Amino acid sequence: MPIFQYKGYTAEGTEIRGSLEAPGLRDAITQIKAKKILPTDVIEAISRKKRKIFQRRDDAFLPNVTRQLAILIASGVTLMEAFQSLSDEYQGYQKEMLIAIKERIAGGASLHRALREYDHIFSDYYIHMIQAGEASGSLDVVLVKLADFLEQQSTVKSKVRSAMIYPILMMGVSIVVLSFLFSFVIPKILRIFADTKSTLPFITVILISISNIFIQFWWAIAGILILSVIYVKKYIKKNRERVDRLILKMPGGIMQSLYYARFARSMEVLVSGGLPVLTALKLSASSIGNRALEADVLRSGEKVAEGQTIASALQEFPPVFVRLIATGEKSGKLAETLKKAASSYEEEFNRKVDRAVSVFEPAMIIVMSIIVCFIVLAVLLPIFQLNQLVK
């Protein structure tokens, strides 16, 4: 249903603003008057789908609001009061969303049902965790677990972004500098040798050819690069599972560690929150971020439904991971074991990222040194050759 924002006055003459859901404008006015408010302005807010398109994604919003909600609920604040307080903390779309959730709860909906209206913000595993918390009467505990999980995932995402910024920046700067050299600087330097009748060194001929290609066909190079990017994106989108399967086979195992950490952490949160193992497997699969591994986990869920243990069903995972799961199942401490596995793979991922970044820097320096050496030799060799002719 659409959301309406209103302004009005109470019987005491106090100005009041708010938001509510209603099938239409007339119904919204009726609901406002039922609250003993005289409406002066009632307008329909921008629809959720439109907001979803134009809204700027804020990765910190969900962890922050979950942590704040957990603190409020644990302190004895009601859900209605908690969401009212939260809506006062935020602006724009986020404020409207929190007010709309509060209005749904006021209308008798449970929290997890109210959150389903905003499934682009609250994922399936989040909603299922809230549902389990409401059913068990431990919503505050579940919210704390969710807040810890979301903050941990946010830290991992920040680590990945930070690790990618330096290589991308270095490559971008290198491409710009080399393009400038080959297009403007080198042609002016090599013009000195244009009138000489002597045979130029082979390395200089190669440099001149590369420079000419940049000058005459820069538009073709740019077009090829753009088309290549478009083709790669379309190919990845069409063959996502095949590409993700190749990522799992990449040397170094950086992404594998990230995927295993995500799966273990999601499973730990869901199992400790009281969700059935089959539901936890299904929801954890969607949080991995790799379609191939997600498909493997879903197939494992089918095997578990047929009576197999989780450890025997997860044969696509590393032996150490499977052994930890088996130990947790036997001891009845699966959540604790998954927590240890998640922490272990997160630490492993951090070590591998740091190692990759430390290797990339000298590798880029070596590559740039080779290119600079090639340019210097291509320019200096003809000069030495001319000096020999003069003598």
B/e letters for 102-131, b = 16+ CB within 10 Å, e = fewer, are: bbbbeeebebbebbebbeebbbebbbbbbb
Same domain, 108 and 93: yes
Q: Which two tokens stand for residue 301?
A: 């869920």
Average pLDDT over residues 199-224: 83
State pTM to two decimals.
0.68
Give every CB contact of residue 172 below 8 A, 6+ residues apart in sequence: none
In this structure, how many other beta carbons lie within 10 angstroms of the beta carbon of residue 10? 12
Same domain, 285 and 382: yes
pLDDT of residue 157 exceeding 50, the answer is yes
* Cβ atoms 122, 100 nearer than 8 A: no
Going by C-alpha positions, the residue among 231, 312, 241, 329 that lies closest to residue 277 is 329
pLDDT recorded at residue 194:
61
pLDDT recorded at residue 231:
93
* Cβ atoms 73, 32 nearer than 8 A: no
Average pLDDT over residues 116-128: 82
Average pLDDT over residues 57-76: 84
pLDDT digit string (tens) for 127-139?
Answer: 888 887 887 777 8
Average pLDDT over residues 311-317: 86
Q: Is 36 among the domain residues?
A: yes
pLDDT digit string (tens) for 9-60?
Answer: 887 778 887 777 677 777 778 888 888 888 877 776 654 444 444 454 567 8
Same domain, 106 and 201: no
pLDDT digit string (tens) for 273-295?
Answer: 778 888 888 888 887 888 888 88
Q: Which amino acid is at 39?
A: P
First to last CA, the chain: 91
Same domain, 245 and 311: yes
Residue numbers of the domain that contains 25 = 3-45
Strands (E), the chain: 3-10, 15-21, 37-44
CA-to-CA separations, 104 to 54, 160, 229, 377, in angstroms, rounded: 24, 37, 44, 73
- Please tell me the distance from the alpha carbon of residue 149 to that of residue 141, in angstroms, as a whole number: 12
Looking at residue 199, what DSSP letter applies? P
pLDDT recorded at residue 51:
47
Same domain, 10 and 106: no
Task: Report the number of distinct structural domains present in the chain.
Answer: 3
Q: In 7-138, where does DSSP find H-type helix?
A: 25-34, 48-54, 61-74, 79-89, 92-106, 111-115, 124-136
Q: Is 50 among the domain residues?
A: no
Q: Which amino acid is at 353?
A: V
- The residue written with tokens 């809230």 in the block is 130
Same domain, 141 and 159: no
Same domain, 230 and 270: yes
